[in-house]
Structures are given as structure tokens and as C-alpha cells.
Amino acid sequence: MPMVTQSLTAGTWYEFVDLDDSSLIQFYLDSTDVVIAAFESSTPDASSPGFLCTTGMNSFQIPVGKSCWVKLDSGTADVTYSQFGGILIHLQKCALAKSDTVTIDEVVTNVYPQAGFDDTPANQINYVGLLHTVAAGIASTATIDAASMLLQFAQFKSGRTIRVYGIESSTSITSGLTDYDSLAVDPTLTTAYVDVTLDSSGEATVDVAAILQELLDDVAGWSTSSPVQFRISDIDSVPSSGLDESHIILAAGRAAALYVRTS
């Protein structure tokens, strides 16, 4: 979550963009001159009265569909605030592959990834998931100092363990997925992986620094336009509970982003 400092230009509206939370703005105003704020969906009129900001910290709730704008009347002013610094998940490129080894063998894209076992049908369904980011903006020469993502689950089975691998590809594999094995077996995976045993919270923070570093070091053609792709599976014993014990990962919004620090 990088901090951004913006020097305001007298008479010009400035929009706070790329906020961590689009419903809230918190900023520090370094000025004793008059600065006003307004909530609009586009640049406010020059004559918009707005409301007065105070020197130091300001915190405002932003109405739905609006942005927060500030304007310096005259003099000098700087505003400092936090911008979103994560790598978003590309939901349209996410996928699940499923098979019951009898009649079902397919891939579904543009969907929340799913992993694990559904033991409710007569023929148990096995799932593996693909979690796929947008272009990550990470150069192959970078050193990964830290990398983590928060997995939040729409459905999960507490006590079971999922395994997260990186997929060694510099480009998206989504369009080439055709059946269960094309995701469960065929991709070249990183040596590094992370095991996560799910608890009752429905979320888990995953340290993927080693996975990302291996991708940068080993994947030919890696560039700043390459996405980060993770294969997710359930590694516990196959259940015979007659229940759906699969896990569905919420792969949308900034809460699901990948956060990386490099040097």
C-alpha cells in the first residue's frame, strides 16, 4: 500500500485515485492555505463550493459512485494518502478443472477457482483450480523481498489442506486448458509450494515469495507483462463422507490481490 504525496496546483481540482477502499479517503494535508474538497463523479465545476479541509489528517466517507476531489485556492499544499499497491486477480483468466473419471472431464473459465472433492454425486468429482493475476509488472531481474496473498473462501472444509504451486509459464495458460489433466497434470510447476490447512475463519494468508522468486529465476521469457499463475489442489486423503468438501476461492476485488515487495 504505497503512500503518495501530491502537490496541489492552485485553482485545479485533484482526484484521489486508486484508493485501497473506494468508500473511504484518509489523507494528510500539509498546508495552512485554503483547500476544499468535493464528491463528484467527474471533475467538479470551477465554482463548486465544496467543503473545507483541515490542516493535518482528514477522513471522509465517499458516496457510492463518486470520487473525492480537492482544490487549493491559492498558495501551496501537499496531500499524502495511501494508494492500492497490489496485483489484481484476473477473474476472466481464472479456471477450474473437474473430473469424476466417468462422464465429467472439463474446464470452466471466468469462474472462481475450486479445489478438492465433492462426494455428493454417485461418482465423486475432483477439482483443481487456477488462480491467475493480471500482468504482474515484475521484471525477471527483480529480487522478491516479500510476497503474500489473502485467500478468502466462499466455500471450504475446515481442517483440510490445500497446496499452492506456481505455474512456470510467462504467458497465460487459460486458453490451452481443455480437460482435467490439462490443469491437474500437464503444467510445469515450481519446486516451491505452500501448504495451507484451512481453519474456521474462511480465509488464509499465503506466503508465496519463494514461488515468485522461482518463477523469475527459471521461466524463460518472463517479463513485466507476465501474469502470476497458481495451481491450487486439495492434498488430503480422498473423503468418503457423502459431502461436498471442495473449496471455492473468491477471486475478485482488491482483497484477493497479490502483494509483492521487490528490490
- 176 & 65 share domain: no
pLDDT at position 47 is 83
- 120 & 248 share domain: yes
- 102 & 206 share domain: yes
Q: Dihedral of CA 179/184/190/194: which sign? A: positive
pLDDT tens across 170-196, in order? 999 999 999 999 999 999 999 999 999
- 37 & 133 share domain: no
- 49 & 149 share domain: no
pLDDT tens across 121-169, in order? 999 999 999 999 999 999 999 999 999 999 999 999 999 999 999 999 9
Which band of pLDDT confidence, cut at 50, 70 and 90, is reported for residue 245?
A: very high
Nearest to 124 by CA among 234, 233, 243: 243
Residue 96 to residue 110: CA distance in whole angstroms:
9
The C-alpha angle with vertex 38 and arms to 34 and 39, in degrees rounded to 5, equals 160
CATH number for the domain including 236? 2.60.120
- 160 & 238 share domain: yes
For the chain, the domain total comes to 2
pLDDT tens across 44-77, in order? 998 888 999 999 999 999 999 999 999 999 999 9
- 78 & 110 share domain: no
- 166 & 67 share domain: no
Which band of pLDDT confidence, cut at 50, 70 and 90, is reported for residue 253?
A: confident
Nearest to 231 by CA among 119, 32, 94, 138: 94
Domain that holds residue 44: 3-82
Nearest to 166 by CA among 130, 140, 138, 117: 130
83 or 89: which carries more pLDDT confidence? 89
Which band of pLDDT confidence, cut at 50, 70 and 90, is reported for residue 227?
A: very high
Among candidate residues 22, 50, 82, the one where a domain is terminated: 82
- 104 & 141 share domain: yes
Q: CA separation (Å) from 221 to 169, 171, 215? A: 8, 9, 11
Q: CA separation (Å) from 9 to 37, 83, 153? A: 14, 20, 45
DSSP 92: G
